[in-house]
Amino acid sequence: MYDWPAVAAATAALHEAVGRAAAARGLEAEPNDAADPAGALLLHTCGLPFATRLAADFAYVATPVHAVEGCEGGFYSSAIVVRADDDTPSLAALAGRGAAINGHDSYSGALALKRALHAAGLSPPLFSKLTVTGSHLASMRAVAAGAADVAAVDAVCWALAGAHEAQMAARLRVLGWTEPAPALPLVTARRHALHIGTLRTALGDALAQIPEAAAALRLAGLDVLPEGAYAPIAREALDMTRAGWDWPAG
């Protein structure tokens, strides 16, 4: 989920290490897994689709822990960013402005922003324009360039931007942070659910084998959240819909 070009080599090293560690324990991805994700041995996904449309087909394995601001254990927040020269003082002052989201099914880029606006006492429709960018990086670039006024960016992407897109990130500032939520989970197809314990061990071993790549990816370990930790996300999505917070707004 965080495979930016600047960390592509580290991501590849992680994939290879996980594959080796799993294979050493008798687990290997099957040839058709890439063509049929519903049979995949291991996937990284956003919490919102996992809690809703993917819940029936995938089982939870673990949650990566990232050593960046806005993350703690298996939980993360989103930075709500505006342009650095924008003197908007608060969320309430965003009424009538333009927003960028990475996708309608993103927790950190869409639902978390809705929750923050709702908690601030705001009501839809709020924004005059909504731009769907396709990625957190594209959302940040849209705000920095003036094509949008605000975006919610997950903490890991915000840290990667500071490290690898420094000039662009310097044109942005954090207006606030969203409430913590379970971070992006690693999941396996239901038919592999018996191997979850082995997958967790393999993941831990893989991270230990590639310290430099893990550091580049800001990976500090793994957390195993309580059963049902992601279920509240589905309820939050339903609550926001019932409150009228459906995109596009305005």
Residue 26 DSSP SS3: coil
Residue 89 DSSP SS3: coil
- Crossing angle of helices 196-209 and 8-23, in 10° steps, is 130
Structure tokens at 5: 């070009």
Domains of the chain, CATH where assigned:
5-71+182-234 (3.40.190), 75-179 (3.40.190.10)
Per residue of the chain (250 residues), what is the pLDDT tens digit? 899 999 999 999 999 999 999 999 999 876 555 556 678 899 999 999 999 999 899 999 999 999 999 999 999 999 999 999 999 999 989 888 999 999 999 999 999 999 999 999 888 888 989 999 999 999 999 999 999 999 999 999 999 999 999 999 999 999 999 999 999 999 999 999 999 999 999 999 999 999 999 999 999 999 999 999 999 999 999 999 999 887 764 4
pTM above the 0.85 mark? yes
Q: How far is CA 243 from CA 99, 157, 238, in A?
A: 19, 29, 9
Q: Give the pLDDT confidence score for residue 249 in this predicted structure.
A: 46
Q: Give the pLDDT confidence score for residue 157 in this predicted structure.
A: 98
Q: How far is CA 219 from CA 68, 128, 212, in A?
A: 9, 38, 10
**DSSP percent split of the chain into helix, strand, coil, nearest 5:** 40, 20, 35
Task: State how far the Cα of 106 lies from the Cα of 217, in Å rounded to an integer.
Answer: 20
Q: Give the pLDDT confidence score for residue 248 in this predicted structure.
A: 60
Residues 199 and 42 sit within 8 Å (Cβ to Cβ): yes
Which phi and psi angles does 176 have, rounded to 5°? 180, 175
